[in-house]
A and B are shown apart, each in its own frame.
Chain A
């Protein structure tokens, strides 16, 4: 078992199987939000190993410690988050003032959540650490919290930073941190989980969705774990442990008895093979393919346990593996709505997406950042596609094409239709395209293509089903 599954052994380029533009683009789509031609050149020259090392080379820090100011939350600045301070502020007001303040704060928080989402999309497009953001998006769909339920924009933003800081760190530490995250404590009601009146919501999702997967624990385990998490709460800003609400009595969890608290329960969960397999499998399906050869996921799970749940070794193995570069992985993933938008902006060189109602189209396509549909996150894959979302995806792509800078339509001043088509397919699809479709694109250009014809041809490229895949 100790040996790595052959499909996970590193891909090494050969003359028959070179690290070409298609493979580099594949890597940067999956481990980020797509690659420009310059990025393809730069990463190709690194070779597959160093390319992955470079992608994984980011600090496990919140953006505010990476020199990024983060979203503009000025609308909610100056108002206390802390419950006690907020209560004091409200007590000093008349009922009428209280209602007005309440309404103002609600509006300000909604706007701040929107600002956070837009800032995040921008960072995905132009930020220096694409894989960190891609992982943050993955974990946001894993350790979900929705701004529909958590109305505090500040706590939603703090959770986003928690996801980022832990995205490629140690999974065990991650679970302990997220279990103390105020937005999570609200979302899954651990704030209301107290001695004698346990609320099992968090304990259940912790096991069913966050660590083990359904069927790998009993109802008794849930009840006992819930007791261990009693008293874990927050004060509006930060995690607090409320000893008087914590159940100090012994609990029996996974057959072991002790005066467990939440951390003890997490440690016992991490010991289970199912936990490592579950997380490794979920990462594999998100980043590589929806199915794996027999034994691959178990081998990855083993790797995760061996590394004591450090995520970087697992991610390095994934992105370097033969399985990752297999024909059954490349070009087989349906772009998530967020990916479709952000990668379009990158590939088309759009620095000004104004006049594109980003959140509106994301909602119509079924993925609004900070608003996952429920605690299970976004199901993904073919579930992104139905007759309603498909038109929105195509029409949004067309809208993006209309925003490509005029001077960027034919930067190399090509005049041969075939070369122009090849240039734009190389920018937007980066995989081989059937000859008949290429011929159609060329015929759209006509013999002497001007910018108008080139833009029309690009509209056809994004109207091909190939553009929906990466």
Chain B
């Protein structure tokens, strides 16, 4: 497979002489000037392949893939973008989207429940937490959908395990090592190298650790806490670039052998990887990293939004994402987290603060996108590993639960409330029963928004619903 992709690249006709990118004879600076234009790159990407040993690996690996498989799927620059907001710790869904019209809600939560009069009502039954006013106006403008009662069979109440389940979309296989978005990237590109299938900034997550959701078998998303932490911190960047120059085009960065292939009967014997090949692989990854770092620093440095984001990591993360969207980065999926939702005790004040932070962050982000005229290109989804128990506990908090609402934001959303609110009296061990499998939401996003068949990514066909206007 991988060999095929490579040979196709080489057999394509190129026009190295007249291409504006064919002047890329090595200086990174020349390349940077051109790199912002993905479309230009798509047109002339083939020329790059013949050009020079110093082009980043993702360019020659992805030129082909983009030109072929992804032609219809657009890069982030002119195509659709997905933003995932992970609410870590288990968000209390019942105090987020509140069934104010249900007596059972008020009975179950005498201390931490919200009075019906304070709830920002959507209809006679549900409404939003009083601290979600910015989201309520998005809802009223048709820019927010709520999928009610989202979960999965035999819910797991461990944070780690349930988070893995949401991120891998594989409740039954504990050994799954790839995430649903990682597999999305895997499926839309196949190239020559296992760790650098495509432009690494196609998926960006804000945070030190790459979330499992964004990890493919081949694709690996870019992760950083702050734009200025994603860079070489030595004194002199030129030295770094100089010391990491790939050796030559003659030294390929071919696929490293897989464990499964080694020594198996009937398999061709794979030549050992030489030190030079490893050096070339490292150098080209370093160059990829540097090119991405550079673009991101420039994008975020240049962005002066007219709206104010809430302080803290979450607000800063959304601001960084808005800056990258504005700068026409090729990123198609962004990922950011807001933590602290594990509210076992005295949750009232804490959860309200989190709601405020969430609403102000998403509110500012959507406004920023509107000002950029990018709002029609972006879909934002929130999720949490589980909701919380219906009945409050003895410490004024709530324990780990199951089904919960999931929120979607975007200017092209079709409808407000999706799915039925779960019953507050017909419970499963004290927890809400799910009505919508979370993989249905993923499938709908993949098919309806990212224009990709969902079955190869999710393993089977889940029911989908109309998410966006055509």
A-contact 0/1 string along B48-74, CB 8 Å cutoff: 000000000000000000000000000
Interface size class on chain A is 35 or more
Contact of A292 among B160, B262, B273 (CB under 8 A): B262
Is the pair B243, A437 in contact by a Cβ cutoff of 8 Å?
yes
A-B contact count (CB 8 A): 154
The answer, among A375, A386, A398, A469, for a CB contact under 8 Å with B200, is: A386
Compute how far the CA of A327 lies from the CA of B273 in the bound complex, rounded to whole angstroms. 10
Contacts of A376 in B (CB 8 A): 175, 177
Q: B137-145, B223-231, B366-374: which lies at the A interface?
A: B223-231
Structural contact, B195 and A382, CB atoms closer than 8 A: yes
User: Quick check: B285 and A387 within 8 Å, CB to CB?
Assistant: yes
Answer whether A334 and B278 are a contact pair too, CB < 8 Å, given A285-B262, A373-B177: yes
CB within 8 Å for A291 and B272 given contacts A437-B243, A465-B286? yes
In the complex, which residues 198-228 of chain B have their Cβ closer than 8 Å to any Cβ of chain A?
Answer: 200-201, 208-210, 220-224
Partner of A456, one of B175, B195, B235, B270: B235
Are A383 and B194 closer than 8 Å at their CB atoms?
yes
A290 adjacent to B273 (CB under 8 Å): yes
CB distance from A91 to the nearest CB of B (A): 18
Contacts of A442 in B (CB 8 A): none
The proximity string for A residues 73-85 relative to B, scoring 1 for CB distances below 8 Å and 0 otherwise, is 0000000000000
Cβ contacts under 8 Å, A386 to chain B: 195-196, 200, 220, 222, 285
In the complex, which residues 214-254 of chain B have their Cβ closer than 8 Å to any Cβ of chain A? 220-224, 230-235, 239-240, 242-244
| B194 contact set on A, CB distance < 8 A | 382-383
Which of A282, A375, A382, A394 is within 8 Å of B232, CB to CB? A394
A328-B274, A332-B272 given; A391·B289 CB < 8 A:
yes
Q: Does A6 contact B (CB under 8 A)?
A: no
Check A382/B281 contact, CB under 8 A, given A387-B200, A387-B288, A388-B222: yes
**B242-282 to A contact mask, C-beta < 8 Å, 1/0:** 11100000000000110100110000011111110011011
Q: Measured between C-beta atoms, what is the minimum distance from A88 to chain B in Å? A: 23
B360 at the interface (CB under 8 A from A): no
Interface assignment of A101: CB less than 8 Å from any CB of chain B: no
Please name the residue on chain A nearest to B173 by beta carbon.
Answer: A374
From A383, A464, A466, residue with most partner B Cβ within 10 Å: A464
Which A121-180 residues have C-beta < 8 A from chain B? 148-149
CA gap between A383 and B195 in the complex, in Å: 6
Q: Which of B176, B232, B272, B282 contacts A289 (CB 8 A)?
A: B272
A378 to chain B, nearest CB (A): 11
B293 within 8 A of A: yes
Flag whether A390 is at the interface (Cβ < 8 A). Answer: yes
B contact patch SS: loop
Of residues B193, B232, B235, B278, which shows the largest number of chain A Cβ atoms within 10 Å of its Cβ?
Answer: B278
Taking residues whose C-beta sits less than 8 angstroms from the other chain, chain B's interface range is: 35 or more
Is A231 engaged at the interface, CB distance under 8 Å to the other chain?
A: no
Docked complex Cα distance between A387 and B291 (Å): 10
A259 to chain B, nearest CB (A): 31
- Determine the distance from Cα of A456 to Cα of B239 in the docked complex, in whole angstroms: 11
When C-beta atoms are compared, the residue in chain B nearest to A333 turns out to be B278
CB of A28 within 8 Å of the partner chain: no
Q: In whole angstroms, what is the CA distance A331 to B275 when docked?
A: 6
Shortest 10 CB-CB distances between A and B: which pairs?
A465-B282, A328-B272, A387-B289, A386-B220, A387-B200, A331-B275, A297-B263, A382-B256, A388-B223, A395-B233
Contacts A/B (CB < 8 Å), 29 sampled: A149-B160, A285-B262, A290-B257, A290-B272, A291-B262, A291-B263, A291-B271, A294-B269, A332-B274, A364-B208, A374-B174, A374-B175, A375-B174, A379-B259, A382-B194, A382-B195, A383-B194, A385-B282, A387-B220, A388-B200, A391-B230, A391-B231, A394-B240, A394-B286, A431-B275, A459-B235, A463-B234, A463-B239, A465-B244
- Extra pairs beyond A373-B177, A388-B230 (20, CB < 8 Å): A290-B256, A290-B257, A291-B273, A297-B262, A332-B274, A374-B176, A376-B175, A387-B220, A387-B288, A388-B200, A388-B220, A390-B286, A391-B230, A391-B231, A391-B233, A395-B232, A440-B242, A465-B279, A465-B283, A468-B282
